[in-house]
Amino acid sequence: MKLEDALAFTEKCFNGEPASCSFACPFHLDIRAFLDKAEKGKWASAYKALESAVAFPLTVSLLCDAPCEHHCQRVQLGDEPIAMTMLEAAVVRYAGSKRARRYVIPPKEGRVAIVGAGAAGLACALGLARKRISVTVFEREPEYGGALRRHPRFAEMSGDIKLQFEAVDAEFCFGREIKSLGELADYNAVYVATGAGGEHFGLLDGWKDDAFTGGADGVFLGGELTGASVVEGIARGGAAAQSIEAFLQVGRVTRLHGGYDREGCERYVAHDGAARAPRVTPSSPDGYTEDEAIREAARCLQCDCDRCMTSCEMLRAFRKRPHKIATEVYTDQNANPPYSSHTLTRETYSCNMCGYCKSVCPEGVDIGALLRLSRAQRMSAGKEPAALHDFWLREMDFNSGEAALCEPPPGAQTCEYVFFPGCQLGASNPEHVRGAYGLLRSAGGGAGIYLGCCGAPAWWAGDDKRFMANFAAIRRNWENMGRPVFVFACATCAGVFDAFAPDIRSVSLYELLDDREVAGHAGELTRAVVFDPCSARARDGMRAAVRGLLRRAGIRTEELADRGRCCGYGGQMRVANPKLFDEIVNSRASMSDEPYIVYCANCREVFASHGKRCAHVLDVALGLKPQERVPSISEKRRNSLSLKEEFMMSDRDARPYRAASAWDAVTLIIDGRLREDMDRNLISEDDVREAIFSAEESGDVFVDAGDGTRMCSMVKPVLTYWARYRCVSRDTYEVLDAYYHRMRFESNSQS
C-alpha cells in the first residue's frame, strides 16, 4: 500500500481546512485561531497572529471592510456575523507591548528593488525583509505612505508601519523616481507598486493576477496600480513577497497559495444544536472593553467539520483527525517494533466498522473502511495482534466447518430458496431458525437450509484470505443447489453478499414473513422501540417489513431519534477495547427506557448481557417468549450442532453430524459466577474440558500439596488456557478458575 492509497480514503474530508471567513479574508488570516486567542483574553498572542498575517495590524484594522463578515456562518443561525473589525481594533488596543518580532535567520541571496513606498510596496518590502532578503525601496516622494497619507488617521498608521520596519533591515531611497527598469539592472527582482495610474513600464497589459508578473522576467506588479484596493494591495504585497522569494530560489514564477487552493469556501458546516447569540454591542464609541471583546470573540462557532469525531464514541475517545488516521494507517504497515512503533493499533481494532461515520459525513468519508484496510494490511504482513480476533475466527471456522450444513429440501437436489439464518441466530436461539424455516417450508416453493457463516468475522479481522476461501465455498454450494435465492435473517450476511456476490439474488426473511402477512403474537410486549442493526441502515425494505410484522402483532412501536447505530458488537472490537465496548453498549441501551425489539441476534445478545430488556422480532413472529439470558459459548455451539443434526435428512443419517472428541465424556461443574467470568472473557467450557482431559491423560498436571487442587494448561495457536480444578469423581471435575494469556513462555529455558 502506498501513502496515496490510505490518503484516498480521507481525500474528501475537509476537517482542518480554513473556515469560510478565512477564505474570504484577503490575508487568509486564520480567524478561528485568532478568535480563540481573543476569547481567552490572550491579546498579545492574538496580536502576533494578526501581525504575522496582515503586516500592519492597526492600519489594516482601520481600513479593512471585513469581507469575512459576509461569510460568517453565524448568519446561518439568524445571528449577525462576528464583529471582526471591532475585534481587531480591540486586540490592537489591548495587546500591550507591540514590539515587532525580529527574525533570527541567516540572510538570503538576491537583491530586490521595490518601486513605490505606498501600502503595497511597503507590505512587499516588509515580507521580503522579514525573510532577510536584501530590499531597497525607491519612492519619488520624500516620504513613505502613498495614498495612505490622505487618510485622516495616517499618523497612527505611520506609527504602525515604523514599528514593523524597526525590526527588519530595509533600505529606503526617497525622492528617487525610477523612469526605466534599466536603472534597476543590478537587482534580481523588481516589485512595481506605483499607485493608481502610476508608472508600469509598459507591463500592465501583460499583468497576470495569479502570479503578479507582467511578462518581463523577474518583474512583479501590485497594489492600486493593478486595480486593487489599499487593503488588497497590502495583502497581495505580502503574497508577492512569497512569489519573489520563490523566484529568487528557483528562477521560476510560481503562485504560492498557502493551502488556499481555490477562491472561496464551498463547504459550510451544519451547526445543528448551536445556540443563537446576538452580537455584543460596545458600551463606548471607542469600541469594545476587554470583557465585551472576549464575549464577542466567544460567539465564533469555530467552524470546522468534526461530525464523525463528535458522533462516534470511538473516534471521540482516540481524538485523532481523519487525515492523521489515514497517514497512520500507512505508517503502521511499515512499523517494525521495537525499532519503530505502531501508533494506531488500539484504534484500528476498536472500530465497530458500522459505517455510522460515513452516514454522518457530508462527504461520505468512511473511516471504518480505512481501519479495516489497516487490519487487512497488518494481517497480510503477519503483524496483526492475533489475540484480538482469535475467538471469532475460531467460531467462524466452527460455524463454517463442523456446524455447517447445506441441505436442499427432502427429496430434492436443488431448490428455489435457501434459508441462510447466519451463524448466530440459531446459536443464540435455535427456536428462531426452527420456527422460521418451518414457516418458509409450509409456504411451499421448496426452501433448503444453509447453516454456515457469511465470513464477516474474517472480514472484520482483516483476514481476507480466510474470507475469500469461505465465500468461494458458499458460492460452490449455491451453484450445487441450483442457484437458489438466499433468504437472510441477518443484515450483516445480506451486506456481505451484496458486496461480494451481487449476482446471488436474495431477500430478507422479514420481508417474506411480512408479505405472507404472518400475524405474530405480542405476548407481554404492547409497546417497544425498534432498534435497527447498523447493517440494516440502508435496507429500507427490511426495516419496513419488521415494523409491518410488529404492527400486525398489535405492538405499538416507537422510533429512536438516532437510528442505525451499532449496538457495540460490530467489528468485533470487544477484546481490543472492553471498556469502550461496554460504554457503547450502555449508551445504546439507554437511548430509550422502553424495551427494544431487535432483528439481529448479536444486538439481542449484547443488550441482554448488559441488562437491557429486549426481544427478537422472530419472538413476535413465531409467538415465542423472549429469552432473557444469553447462552454460553459452549451452549451456542451445542445449539448450532443440534440444528444441524435436526436438519440433516434421515436418508443420509449415516453421516456423523459432528466430530466426536475424546473429552466429550468429561463432565465439568462450574458455578454461575465463574461461568459468567468465562463468558465475559470468551473462554468456552469446551476449551476447559479439553485442557483438563489432555492434562489428566498425559499427567502434565500441577498439584497443590496443601488442598489437593490441580492446575493444567493448554497451548492453542494464539492463546494459552489455564484451569484450576478439583477431581470430583472419574471424568468429573469441579472447575475453580479458568483464564488465559497471550504471551508464550519457553518451557525449556532453564536458569
Partner 1 sequence: MADSSWRCARCDEALTARKTVFTYLGQSFTHEVLRCPKCGRVLIPPELARGKMAEVEEQLEDK
**97 or 747: CB nearest partner 1:** 747
What does the per-residue mask of binding to partner 1 show for 209-228, with x meaning CB under 8 A? --------------------
556, 574, 561, 572: which is closest to 610 by C-alpha? Answer: 574
**350 or 634: CB nearest partner 1:** 350
Distance in Å, CB of 743 to partner 1, minimum: 4
Q: Which residues lie closer than 8 Å to 487 by C-beta, 6 or more apart?
A: 417, 418, 419, 420, 440, 447, 506, 507, 508, 509, 512
Q: Within positions 321 to 350, which residues make up the interface with partner 1, using CB under 8 A?
A: 337-338, 341-342, 345-346
Q: How many CB atoms lie within 10 A of CB 374?
A: 28
606 and 567 in contact (C-beta within 8 Å)? yes
**295 or 724: CB nearest partner 1:** 724
Give the one residue of 180, 442, 650, 749 binding partner 1; rule: CB under 8 A: 749
**141 or 677: CB nearest partner 1:** 677
Question: In angstroms, rounded to a whole number, what is the distance separating the alpha carbons of residues 687 and 552?
Answer: 44
Q: Where does this chain touch partner 1 (CB under 8 A) — which range of 162-170, 484-492, 503-511, 739-747?
A: 739-747
What does the per-residue mask of binding to partner 1 show for 30-69, with x meaning CB under 8 A? ----------------------------------------
What does the per-residue mask of binding to partner 1 show for 386-415, with x meaning CB under 8 A? -xx---------------------------
**281 or 340: CB nearest partner 1:** 340
Site membership for partner 1, residue 739 (CB under 8 A)? yes
Q: How far apart are the first and last CA of the chain?
A: 44
Give the one residue of 169, 381, 700, 730 binding partner 1; rule: CB under 8 A: 700
Task: Kindly determine how many residues on this chain lie close enough to bind partner 1 according to the rule CB under 8 A.
Answer: 38
User: Strand pairing of 417-420 and 189-192?
Assistant: unpaired
346 and 578 in contact (C-beta within 8 Å)? no
Long-range contacts from 654-662, C-beta under 8 angstroms, 24+ separation: 658/402, 658/403, 659/402, 661/686, 661/690, 662/693
Grid cell digits, residue 102: 525580529
User: Strand pairing of 447-451 and 417-420?
Assistant: parallel
Question: In angstroms, rounded to a whole number, what is the distance separating the alpha carbons of residues 5 and 329?
Answer: 10
Give the one residue of 40, 101, 316, 741 binding partner 1; rule: CB under 8 A: 741
642, 649, 693, 641: which is closest to 667 by C-alpha? Answer: 693
Distance in Å, CB of 3 to partner 1, minimum: 22
Give the one residue of 78, 273, 411, 706 binding partner 1; rule: CB under 8 A: 706
Q: Within positions 361 to 390, which residues make up the interface with partner 1, using CB under 8 A?
A: 385, 387-388
Q: How many CB atoms lie within 10 A of CB 306?
A: 15
Q: How many CB atoms lie within 10 A of CB 686?
A: 19
Distance in Å, CB of 330 to partner 1, minimum: 18
Q: Where does this chain touch partner 1 (CB under 8 A) — which range of 243-251, 323-331, 404-412, 704-712?
A: 704-712
DSSP state of 622: H
Give the three-class secondary structure for 123. Answer: helix
124 and 114 in contact (C-beta within 8 Å)? yes
Site membership for partner 1, residue 155 (CB under 8 A)? no
Q: Within positions 707 to 736, which residues make up the interface with partner 1, using CB under 8 A?
A: 709-711, 713, 720, 722, 724
Site membership for partner 1, residue 180 (CB under 8 A)? no
Distance in Å, CB of 696 to partner 1, minimum: 10
**420 or 721: CB nearest partner 1:** 721
Which stretches of the chain bind partner 1, using CB under 8 A? 337-338, 341-342, 345-346, 385, 387-388, 699-706, 709-711, 713, 720, 722, 724, 737, 739-751
